Structure 1
Amino acid sequence: MCGIAGFIGTDARLDETRLKRMQEALRHRGPDDGGIRFFESAGEGGGEAPLRVGMAHRRLSILDLSPAGRQPMADAGERHWICYNGEFYNSPDIRTDLSRRGVEFRSTSDTEVLLQLCRRDGVPDAVRRVNGMFAFSHFDAASRVLHLARDRAGQKPLFYVRLPDGSLLYASEIPALLASGLVETDDLDVQAIDQFWTLGYTTGARTFYRAIRRLRPGSLARWQQGQLDISSYWQVSFAPEDAPDKSLDAYADELESLLEDSVRLRLLSDVPVAVCLSGGIDSSLVAAMVSRLRKDVPAYTVSFAGTDHDESAAASAVAAHLGLPHRILDVAGALSPEFARIAGWTGEPFGDASSIPMYFLSREIRRHATVALTGDGGDELFGGYAHYREGLGIWGGMRPIPGARSAGRRWLLRGMGLERGFLRMQRHVNGGLRRKLFTPDALSRIDPAVTLQERRRWIAGAADPAHAPARMQNCDFHTYMTDDVLAKVDRMSMAHGLECRSPFMDHRLIEWAARLPARITLAEDGTGKRVLGHLLGRFLPERLFRRPKQGFTPPWETWCTGEMRETLRKDWRGMADPFMRKEAIDVLAPPDGGGSPVLSWMAYSYATWRRGS
């Protein structure tokens, strides 16, 4: 796991000094080593401006800890160059194949395998053979073509900026692009700001900065002579395929085979590996697979002193039954000094307060290990969220969940239909609250339909429009999971140089799960993860994992009180911001301590970003 940055183009401002600033902004992602390569070649055809190419890397050493794994890396002839962030899990098999084809390797790193695969097969074909999480740039010095690629699920981030002359900058994180000094920081996208307040995150290609775009998961970008072309090399759509005679046991057998192989691949490392264990179904199942393969991998659980956020007892029972070493990491002392740092790591406001426990969990695990396996993705793939069950009670003909919403509210949502109703159900801000938050000028520039365009695209893009669970999962997988869950895990873990790997994000498992019929993912009462629970029952007694879902929700309402709340309110009113009303803070973080903890964290995140921008 690492951080990458670079540029290509003819803009005379592209130089090694800017490249070093971009690299330095990513130091936390790769504390072990760093490398820079700057090229300047004469323009083609005479009279043209020279082409400037910069590639920068920060290294977190996982495989081949020697200098032979240093990046940017080139082939023997220095025609092909690569700058790579991520892990290439099936690289041993690809290495064997390439060796049979005559390729000679100088290191044992997966980076060199990817470089040689791109050299022999071309980048478009190479990415289709990679099982892993990655974001990388590849430069062909002969053809003067640069490729950018991002993994299928979007576990590793990649952002880019196009300058007026067609020159291109890219980086793993937004702050690295800002460090170039070539991004106009006052040119903000009010539509992206509305996405944040509506969803809690920006989604699609948008970011808060109009010039900075997000390369979408499963995408490949090709730059040549100022022209940037972006295409998709992989895309999944939830399309259930039922085989009525196939039993739950048979599906669980298939899942067991896929998940065990995924875990096996993700245990490959030359540094210490751990597993994050909450005691819930997803992390417990990953831990069960780990215990089958290795008994020396420790499990870690975070506990916050003085709060109800404590899953350590359940996790300890799971670890003991599986025979895994287990350690409870107590987070004690003053936490608030770290909150501003946490809110600032994403480079733009981020509304998911579970960043806080993820940050501290990563910090504590990093003291003991460099790689950690997680259970991320289980909810999206196997229908684990409560709002799926609630949606089935509204649009799927299932009995409504008692107390979830009033009958009148359910009637209103049912009348809207699944597409409009689900989008409305999954938002933090409605039209009335939007008018209380935004200034009149900002409101005049916001189109609520555009704000939800990306989520509407994916809820409408499920293969079976009549299948309510598939449509909801398709929407969440391509937006919430990618732009919230995986973004959170990447930024908070990489803040401490910890590499998190999720076995559920293996593309083979994703493609398999996307075809599951509802009877396999959902119980009769609409509870999700049926097949996960069935498989986990082969390893653990149900009493150890059949408990109410707690989630990774921190007690922000407890933390954001007293002096801290007053400071937030003061900071908000002191912001020089053309988009938000100053009196909006009375709704977001009322002085009496009431209100929504979700909205008060979002206000804190926004005010922190403003203070640092």
Structure 2
Amino acid sequence: MCGITGILKLNDTKVSEKSLGRFTHSLAHRGPDGAGLYINKEGNLGFGHRRLSILDVSDRGKQPMSYDNGRYWIIYNGEIFNFMEIRNDLIKEGYKFHSDSDTEVILASYQRWGKDCLEKFNGMWGFAIWDAKEKKLFLARDRFGIKPIYFLYIPRTIFAFASETVAFKYLEGFRREVNIQNMASVIHDSFSLEGYGKTIFNHIEEILPGHFMEISFGGVPRQVRWWNTLEHLAEVGNSYDSQVNEFRDIFENACLIRMRSDVPIATALSGGVDSSSVYCMLHSLMKNRNNKERIPRDWQRAFAAVFPGTENDEKIYAEKVAEFTGGVIKYNEPNLKNLPQKVIETTIKFDSIYFSPIIAATNIYESMRTAGVKVSLDGHGVDEMLYGYQPLVENAYFLALSQQNQEYASDILNIYEEMLFPGVKDQTVKNLLEKGRKWKIFIPESVNILKRILRFKLTDSWLRESINHFYRSKRDLVLQFSKNIFRVDFLSYQSFHLTTLPTILRNFDRASMQHGVEVRMPFMDWRLVSYVFSLPMQSKIGHGFAKRILRDAMKTLMPESIRQRKLKIGLNAPMVDWFSGPLREFLTDTMSSKEFLESTVWNGYEIKQFTDKKLKDNSLSYSDCIRIWPYINAHIIMLNNSKDYTFHENN
């Protein structure tokens, strides 16, 4: 895992080492273990790399790395987890290797198979390869966009790319400006940009998940889709028991190959089903395993965020996992004394907008890095595939109604009810039942969902900026991803590929890499994803449980109380407690500032009046908080957009 930057000049100007270095070292937090620059002999192409050394920590693994007598140069952020198997295949064909890194395996694979090498990789990546002979730049992202590549293209002038949007603040000759319409969109809906390759900044976009991009000197970048999950659906067992066994086998191997590391690894543990499944599977794998090639001795630790006295605290669940596995867990409690300053700092580094402060996640990875851990195995990706979110369960309920399957609909309704906090349960279930009674039956229901998405218009009384135009621009992309969509539940597919998960992946990439920690995600193994989207809905939600097949696959491997746990909390800041307590003064001061009150993007006076009343009446709710925070988040980003961060070029 690293930070990468690149500059391709499309005119007669040259890349200077100083400007490339400044661009690259802005990402020092992503790669604190070393740095490297490469400028080609013509001077029109520059690569920069900040290294987080994990596989082959020697100088042989340094980047930028060359191959084939200098024809190919690579900078790479990510991991190819099956690199050992690919390396062995290439050795049989006569290839020789000078390092033990996966980076060199990518280069050899690209020479051997060209762009088709992407199909052979099982992992997460954002890399760029320069072909000095063909004068062509090739960039690629993994299937689901776990690792980012942002880019800037100004015709006949420059093509530049980086692992984070913050780097473009330091790109010589470019003035970074906020795109007001995109910012308004993401303030209203945190999940509206990332999966569509958009950012909150003008001219800065993102290569789409499962796509590659090619550009030659003087040319135009061409983005091509190389992966479509719907074209890789799997054959699944006829019986549910066989499906459980197949799921377990894939998940087990996905965990095993993600343990490959030359440095200590750990797990970010919440005590929920997903992260607990990962941690417990690691312990199950290692009990009687003799072959531990490239698996470090130090893998037993877990790190858990705790928020004492709040509804967000999950310590009691993490303790049950620790007792079951005999693992070592460090509990991380936020320091409330300097909370306002930490919230500001982490939000500035986050450089994006979300409905909750990112600090809840950054604290976990800061604790890991302090303890000498560089790699974390986390449980992301399950909620979107296996109905872990309430809106997905609602949709499953409506689908069951549309199929006139009242028994299944009642089962899903019970699942939905048990996911809710007691204080909101009765009214939320009542609202769902009312929607169900008014539901217009469309067969298949996915047609109705797709139509609603394509004509969706947003309004928010706090926003001054219209955002309808941006949503209409999504039409072609939504239709592109909807090919053969009737074979799967569209809303779940959309949540995984386009909306919720791409945003979550960005959040955890930024949160972990603020402290130089790599996050690996066994549930994001492409074999498991293809398998899950091939399953019937009843295997994913039913018999009293969301995530049904995962729970059954983990029988006897994790505490029964955790396996059957239904209440979902998630790793979010306890905003009601913080906004009413240690962040109260920060909120009121921010909303009282001239810049906030007179914003051209939002109605600052109305937001302040609403918040003041809620705080005075002590009636602030979670829904209020997730409506308020994006405006505070956006305000912090806009204030600091033109200000420099502090980084050290000699790190």
Identify the residue that residue 563 of structure 1 maps to in structure 2.
585
Matches within 5 A, 1:145-294: 145-165=136-156, 167-186=158-177, 188=179, 190-191=181-182, 193-203=184-194, 204-225=196-217, 226-237=219-230, 246-294=238-286
> In the aligned structure 1, how far is the partner of 2:562 from the partner of 2:453?
32
The CA deviation at 1:166 is: 5.5
Number of matched residues? 591
Measured against aligned partners, the alpha-carbon deviations of 1:199-243 in whole angstroms (never above 9, x if no partner) come to 455230211122111101111101113221111111113998897
Contact 2:56 2:101 in 1 (8 A): yes
Letter in 2 for 1:4: I
> In the aligned structure 2, how far is the partner of 1:182 from the partner of 1:35?
22
Letter in 2 for 1:545: R
Contact 1:588 1:599 in 2 (8 A): no
Identify the residue that residue 531 of structure 1 maps to in structure 2.
549
> In the aligned structure 2, how far is the partner of 1:575 from the partner of 1:7?
39
Measured against aligned partners, the alpha-carbon deviations of 1:383-413 in whole angstroms (never above 9, x if no partner) come to 2222222123334312455632535555566
Matches within 5 A, 1:207-606: 207-225=199-217, 226-237=219-230, 246-294=238-286, 297-334=300-337, 335-348=339-352, 350-353=353-356, 355-368=358-371, 369-397=373-401, 398-399=409-410, 403-404=427-428, 406=431, 408-410=434-436, 414=440, 431-433=458-460, 436-439=461-464, 442-443=465-466, 446-447=468-469, 449-450=471-472, 453=475, 456-457=478-479, 460-461=482-483, 463-464=485-486, 470-524=489-543, 527-547=545-565, 548-561=567-580, 562-571=584-593, 573-574=595-596, 577-586=599-608, 589-593=611-615, 594=620, 596-606=624-634
The CA deviation at 1:414 is: 4.4
**Kindly tell me: are residues 438 and 501 of structure 1, through their superposed partners in 2, closer, same or farther at Cα, counting changes over 3 Å?**
same
Structure 1 counterpart SS, 2:383: helix
> In the aligned structure 1, how far is the partner of 2:55 from the partner of 2:501?
26
Identify the residue that residue 70 of structure 1 maps to in structure 2.
62
The CA deviation at 1:251 is: 1.1
> In the aligned structure 2, how far is the partner of 1:422 from the partner of 1:32?
46
Letter in 2 for 1:532: L
Matches within 5 A, 1:55-94: 55-94=47-86
Measured against aligned partners, the alpha-carbon deviations of 1:414-462 in whole angstroms (never above 9, x if no partner) come to 47976666897999x97442xx2333xx33x742642664884478445
Identify the residue that residue 48 of structure 1 maps to in structure 2.
none
Structure 1 counterpart SS, 2:333: strand
> In the aligned structure 1, how far is the partner of 2:282 from the partner of 2:266?
9
Letter in 2 for 1:168: F
The CA deviation at 1:196 is: 3.9
Q: Percent of aligned pairs with the same residue? A: 26
Contact 2:184 2:463 in 1 (8 A): no
**Kindly tell me: are residues 610 and 534 of structure 1, through their superposed partners in 2, closer, same or farther at Cα, counting changes over 3 Å?**
same
Contact 2:78 2:125 in 1 (8 A): yes
**Kindly tell me: are residues 571 and 557 of structure 1, through their superposed partners in 2, closer, same or farther at Cα, counting changes over 3 Å?**
farther
> In the aligned structure 1, how far is the partner of 2:161 from the partner of 2:470?
29
Measured against aligned partners, the alpha-carbon deviations of 1:34-71 in whole angstroms (never above 9, x if no partner) come to 00011242xxxxxxxxx600000000000111111110
Structure 2 counterpart SS, 1:5: strand
> In the aligned structure 2, how far is the partner of 1:61 from the partner of 1:356?
25
**Kindly tell me: are residues 431 and 62 of structure 1, through their superposed partners in 2, closer, same or farther at Cα, counting changes over 3 Å?**
closer
Letter in 1 for 2:363: F
Letter in 2 for 1:94: I
Identify the residue that residue 109 of structure 1 maps to in structure 2.
101
Greater shift in the superposed pair: 337-346 or 540-549 = 540-549
Residue 139 of structure 1 is aligned with which of 120, 130, 136? 130
Structure 2 counterpart SS, 1:237: helix
Structure 1 counterpart SS, 2:137: strand
The CA deviation at 1:14 is: 3.8
Letter in 2 for 1:186: E
Contact 1:589 1:599 in 2 (8 A): no
Identify the residue that residue 294 of structure 2 maps to in structure 1.
none
The CA deviation at 1:32 is: 0.3
**Kindly tell me: are residues 91 and 460 of structure 1, through their superposed partners in 2, closer, same or farther at Cα, counting changes over 3 Å?**
closer
**Kindly tell me: are residues 150 and 189 of structure 1, through their superposed partners in 2, closer, same or farther at Cα, counting changes over 3 Å?**
farther
**Kindly tell me: are residues 450 and 54 of structure 1, through their superposed partners in 2, closer, same or farther at Cα, counting changes over 3 Å?**
same
Contact 1:6 1:55 in 2 (8 A): yes
> In the aligned structure 2, how far is the partner of 1:486 from the partner of 1:268?
21
The CA deviation at 1:600 is: 1.5
Structure 2 counterpart SS, 1:185: coil
> In the aligned structure 1, how far is the partner of 2:356 from the partner of 2:24?
28
Structure 2 counterpart SS, 1:213: strand
Measured against aligned partners, the alpha-carbon deviations of 1:493-544 in whole angstroms (never above 9, x if no partner) come to 000001110000111111111101111101145x410011111223134223
Contact 1:304 1:332 in 2 (8 A): no
Structure 1 counterpart SS, 2:152: strand
The CA deviation at 1:333 is: 3.8
**Kindly tell me: are residues 58 and 475 of structure 1, through their superposed partners in 2, closer, same or farther at Cα, counting changes over 3 Å?**
same
Gaps of 5+ in 1: 42-50
Structure 2 counterpart SS, 1:331: coil
**Kindly tell me: are residues 497 and 423 of structure 1, through their superposed partners in 2, closer, same or farther at Cα, counting changes over 3 Å?**
farther
1:31 aligns with 2:35: no
The CA deviation at 1:381 is: 1.8
> In the aligned structure 1, how far is the partner of 2:370 from the partner of 2:182?
40
Contact 1:352 1:484 in 2 (8 A): no
Contact 1:305 1:331 in 2 (8 A): no
> In the aligned structure 1, how far is the partner of 2:154 from the partner of 2:346?
30
> In the aligned structure 1, how far is the partner of 2:587 from the partner of 2:102?
48
TM-score (norm 1): 0.89
Measured against aligned partners, the alpha-carbon deviations of 1:453-500 in whole angstroms (never above 9, x if no partner) come to 4884478445317x6xx1111110112344311111100000000111
Greater shift in the superposed pair: 527-536 or 231-240 = 231-240
Letter in 2 for 1:370: K
Structure 2 counterpart SS, 1:4: strand
